[in-house]
Structure 1
Amino acid sequence: MSEVIEYKSWVCLICGWIYNEEDGLPEDGIAAGTRFGEIPDDWRCPLCDVGKADFVVVEF
């Protein structure tokens, strides 16, 4: 049986934009499956331009 990879979603606390690890952000050069922690530290929210520190993981 193959291992199930659990991807997380991260929400911007400022504007509510969501980064989904499973989908990535291909238009910004971030491949599908890229973990939030693997995104470069200088990456900015595509909607409101805040840094990674203003994102929190979404718990369902």
Structure 2
Amino acid sequence: MRKWQCIVCGFIYEEANGLPEENIAPGTAWEDVPSDWLCPECGAGKQDFEMIEIV
């Protein structure tokens, strides 16, 4: 499972956790998140997210 970070505000979407409060089930791959989904923190679109590596 990967993690994606909003380059605008730093919010992190974790595929393993999903976002149940936004009707995105745990285990939902980034590719399966709706294309019109917006960052819950700042309203940025999916195009403003980058995959990150946590070390």
TM-score range, shorter chain: over 0.9
Asked whether 1:37 is paired with 2:31, we answer yes
For structure 2, which runs of at least 5 residues remain unmatched after alignment? Answer: none
* Identity of matched residues, %: 48
List 4+ stretches of structure 1 deviating above 2 A.
none
For structure 1, which runs of at least 5 residues remain unmatched after alignment? Answer: 1-6
Asked whether 1:28 is paired with 2:22, we answer yes
Paired residue total: 54
Structure scoring higher RCO (CA < 8 A, sep ≥ 6) equals: 2
TM-score of the aligned structures, taking structure 2 as reference length? 0.95
What RMSD, in angstroms, separates the aligned Cα atoms of the two structures? 0.6
